[in-house]
Amino acid sequence: MSSGNNHARQPQALQLLLDVGSSRCKWQLLGASQRPAGVEIQTGSLEDLRAALNTSQAAGACVRSAAGICVAAAGQREAVDDLLQSACGLSLQWLHTESRVADLRCGYPQPQQLGVDRWAGLAGAHSLYPHDNVILADFGTATTVDFLAAGGQHLGGWISAGLQDGLSALRQRLAHLPALSGSSNAALLAAVAVAPGENDANLAASDTRSALVHGSLHAQAGLVMQARAVAQRAGWPSCRVLLTGGNAQRLLPLLDTDVVHQPQLLFVGMQWLLRHSS
């Protein structure tokens, strides 16, 4: 009886997966048998992360392992290391881009030049669709498009200004227009929402604010359509098109219905890399 009671009192072991980006932190706290695809992503500052860890531990859970990726400044990584040590007594395992992990091969001759966030996304895509050609579009602070051949060979990709940066640049150049006076990116995007199923006629804007937003959105969606055309010309008869990143949801109404939204893709990839890295 005593042994059974002791076992029942064992704290739940959690794994922390952390994405430290250039604009925010995202994380998941996973139980022993959980996979990222079905778990909500939490977002916030480092203090928000500390509060989430404290709440989990107060509820009887214990963070046993922690791993993450970072594309922010080095100082941010050090701040995360200090937080994990003070909150959980853990050293966080930082993942990095490698030339090869299992059958996933980096397409860059110098793998360290490929952002680790892109590498984690590719790992997630490969883990979900190992036998398919994949176009992966990540609509984050920057927009990236990567080509992953069936079997795990990364062929390279593109980097473009993200939706928010593109809008900011246009607003700065067009600040003299009365229609844009005092407008923020958030206000423009909120005021000119694109609904699923809108056709091209409805998307032909008839005012400056709408034209700016729709033009910016279509420019982002055009990267995906151009990537698909390039892949077909290169000899891919078919491919999966995966969308991830904070702005992906805004692009879905403008793209074909066969694209797949995978908001947890980088976390899926992080867990795959942890299982397969030497």
φ, ψ at 196 (rounded to 5°):
-55, 135
Domain check: are 80 and 101 in the same one?
A: no
pTM (two decimals): 0.89
| pLDDT per residue as tens, the chain (278 positions) | 445 555 555 678 999 999 997 668 999 999 988 999 989 999 999 999 999 999 998 899 999 999 999 988 878 899 999 999 999 999 999 999 999 999 999 999 999 999 999 999 999 999 999 999 999 999 998 999 999 999 999 999 999 999 999 988 888 888 788 777 767 888 778 777 665 555 454 557 788 888 888 899 999 999 999 999 999 999 999 999 999 999 999 999 888 878 999 999 999 999 999 999 86
Q: If we measure between CA atoms, which residue out of 129, 126, 125, 150 comes closest to residue 138?
A: 125
Q: Which domain holds residue 122?
A: 97-278
**What Cα–Cα distance (Å) separates residue 252 from each residue in 74, 195, 197, 213?**
34, 9, 10, 15
- Would you give the end-to-end CA distance of the chain in angstroms? 41
> Which amino acids are annotated catalytic?
117
The total domain count for the chain is 2
CATH code of residue 45 = 3.30.420.40
- Rounded CA separation 244/262 (Å): 5
Please say which residue of 94, 116, 140 terminates a domain.
Answer: 94
> Is the CB of residue 212 less than 8 Å from the CB of residue 175?
no
- One domain for residues 154 and 252: yes
Indicate if 270 and 201 belong to the same structural domain: yes
Of 64, 94, 124, at which residue does a domain stop? 94
d(CA 273, CA 73): 23
Residue bearing tokens 């909150």: 87
195 contacts: CB under 8 Å, gap ≥ 6: 253
120 close to 245: Cβ distance less than 8 angstroms: no
> Which residue's entry shows tokens 């709408």?
210
Query: Is the domain of 239 the same as that of 119?
Result: yes
Q: What is the strand order of the sheet 12-20 is part of?
A: 42-44, 25-30, 12-20, 61-70, 93-94
215 with 202, same domain: the answer is yes
- The answer to whether 258 and 240 are in contact (CB under 8 A) is no
134 and 270 fall within a common domain: yes
Boundary residue ending a domain (74, 94, 114): 94
Residue 236 has what pLDDT?
A: 96
Phi then psi for residue 79, to 5 deg, are: -65, -40
Mark whether 187 and 207 lie in a shared domain: yes
With b for 16 or more beta-carbon neighbours within 10 A and e for fewer, the 29-38 pattern comes to: bbeeeeebee
The answer for residues whose C-beta is within 8 angstroms of residue 136's C-beta and 6 or more apart is 121, 122, 125, 144, 145, 146, 147, 148, 157, 242, 244, 265
